[in-house]
């Protein structure tokens, strides 16, 4: 779908669905990840090496971070795993 099709009468503006605004991705640094998860630095890096924790991304020559949504999803999954199935 494009604007040209709308102007040519092939589509009306009612046919165009608005795009839901998305929350911008946020990068967390290690201190923030530690605070959110309750894990220490060594545990984070160990779990990451075991592919049991979200992977860090490079944000600079000597800086890494984690995507906030991935960390939040990891926390939610840990909560779900710790609760007995009803």
Q: Quick check: 38 and 75 in contact, CB under 8 A?
A: no
Residue 1 lies in a domain: no
Q: Which two tokens stand for residue 42?
A: 């060594």
pLDDT of residue 84: 79
Residue 61 lies in a domain: yes
Residue 72 lies in a domain: yes
For residue 16, pLDDT beyond 70: no
pLDDT, tens digit (0-9, with 9 covering 90-100), for 31-84: 999 999 999 999 999 999 999 999 999 999 999 999 999 999 999 999 999 997
Q: Whole-prediction pTM value?
A: 0.72
pLDDT of residue 78: 96
- If one counts the domains in the chain, the total is 1
Torsion angle of C-alpha atoms 46, 52, 53, 57, degrees rounded to 10: 80
Range of the domain at 67: 20-82
């Amino acid at each position: 779908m494009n604007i040209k099709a709308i102007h040519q009468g092939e589509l009306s503006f009612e046919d165009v669905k608005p795009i839901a605004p998305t929350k911008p991705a946020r990068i967390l640094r290690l201190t923030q990840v530690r605070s959110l998860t309750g894990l220490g630095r060594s545990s984070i890096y160990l779990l990451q090496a075991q592919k049991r924790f979200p992977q860090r991304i490079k944000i600079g020559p000597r800086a890494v971070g984690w995507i906030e949504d991935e960390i939040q999803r990891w926390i939610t999954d840990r909560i779900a795993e710790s609760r007995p199935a009803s």
